[in-house]
Structure 1
Amino acid sequence: MANNDIIPGFDEEKDESLKIRLQKVDSVPGCLILFLTGYIDTYNSNFFQKKVTRAIEQGYIRLIFHCGGLNYVSSTGIGSFTAFLKAVKPRGGDIVLLEIQPKVYEVFQLLGFSQFFTIKDNLEEAVAHFSEGGQKVQTEIFPKIFKCPICSKKLKATRPGRFRCSECKTILAIDNNGQVFLG
């Protein structure tokens, strides 16, 4: 399905530095996956915001940003994600970020934004987040299997706290909600 079939006029304006491919999630109302390829910086963040705002205005309030192809996000780009979160939350929506590259995740962490966003490892988990209404029951969180944000080694945490990655020796912290942080 082409982007314009999902959101009329979506591909009218293009930017070579950031490509966005849309995919509807039929099992979840108002859910849209946005596959991002390229980078988001001061120069194209306006383009990015216009595109996503258009999707939100079309009733897509459950947004999954597939960031595997995103190799750079500036602080302005992160500001865009924050704006989308502010736009969808009051409408009962949410944002999930997927497959964030380690250096992009670092920017989110440095700016203190990693705790505001729901970050999942794969598409199934992201869709499940919306299917379950976004509410996780405490007992389901641990043991949690996740990837080290630095070296991507698969790790397992049995409880919240601080520990060291067995591969790269980075000190990680995991909170009660299963969110992973550096340090």
Structure 2
Amino acid sequence: MTNNDIVPGFDDEKDESLKIKLQKIPEVEGCLVLYLTGYIDTYNSNYFQKRVAKAIEAGFIRLIFQCGGLNYVSSTGIGSFTAFLKSVKPRGGDLVLLEIQPKVYEVFQLLGFSQFFNIKDNLDDSIDFFRTGSSTEKVSVFPKIFACPICSKKLKAVKSGRFRCSECKTILAIDNSGQVFLG
């Protein structure tokens, strides 16, 4: 089964620096594993975003990124993952990052994004995460105390929406599940 069989037109564009192989998870609706090999930087992140956007448009909103073959992700690359999260969350989807190499995980941590993503060690755990239904949230996550992803100031959100960090003035958004995003 080719990528184009799963997502029509997926392989119309290719980039040697980042190879993506798709695997559909039939037992979970809208679930797709993307095996990433190579790296994601400023130059190929647009390619990466366009490929994944195609998958999301095709109805895949539960995305598992298999990152074991990913040896470098720049801040631009991490921005791509954040964009995917913003894209699938309103549709009831989510994403899981799988087998992140330590040096790649460090970049997520340095930028303060490690807490926004569901990070799993193996494919079974990732599939179970979606099978149990990530959309069944706890009763209420508010009020929520969290650290600003930019300056680490402790902030409190009483409801979802957009607001500004009292310390560094960064605009932040928090969704109904308590996920914090930039902008």
Band of TM-score, shorter chain: 0.7 to 0.9
* Runs of 4+ more than 6 Å apart: 135-138
Residue number in structure 2 paired with 1:29: 29
Q: Which amino acid aligns with 1:36?
A: L
**Equivalent position SS for 2:42:** coil
**Equivalent position SS for 1:4:** helix
Hey, what's the Cα distance between the residues in 1 that align with 2:85 and 2:101?
A: 20
1:134, distance to aligned residue in structure 2 (A): 2.0
Residue number in structure 2 paired with 1:71: 71
Residue number in structure 1 paired with 2:161: none
1:49, distance to aligned residue in structure 2 (A): 0.1
Hey, what's the Cα distance between the residues in 2 that align with 1:76 and 1:137?
A: 30
**Equivalent position SS for 1:11:** helix
TM norm structure 2: 0.73
Hey, what's the Cα distance between the residues in 1 that align with 2:77 and 2:137?
A: 32
Alignment of 1:93-132 (within 5 A): 93-132=93-132
Q: CA RMSD in A?
A: 1.5
Q: What residue ranges of structure 2 are gaps of 5+ in the alignment?
A: 139-183
Q: Which amino acid aligns with 2:91?
A: R
Residue number in structure 1 paired with 2:56: 56
**Equivalent position SS for 2:16:** coil
**Equivalent position SS for 2:11:** coil
Q: Which amino acid aligns with 1:26?
A: P
Deviations 1:26-59 (A, max 9, x none): 0000000000000000000000000000000000
1:134 and 2:125 are equivalent in the alignment: no
Aligned residues: 138
Kindly tell me: are residues 137 and 58 of structure 1, through their superposed partners in 2, closer, same or farther at Cα, counting changes over 3 Å? closer
| Residue pair 2:37, 2:70 contacting (<8 A) in 1 also | yes
Q: Which amino acid aligns with 1:118?
A: N
Residue number in structure 2 paired with 1:20: 20
Kindly tell me: are residues 131 and 41 of structure 1, through their superposed partners in 2, closer, same or farther at Cα, counting changes over 3 Å? same
Q: Which amino acid aligns with 2:101?
A: Q
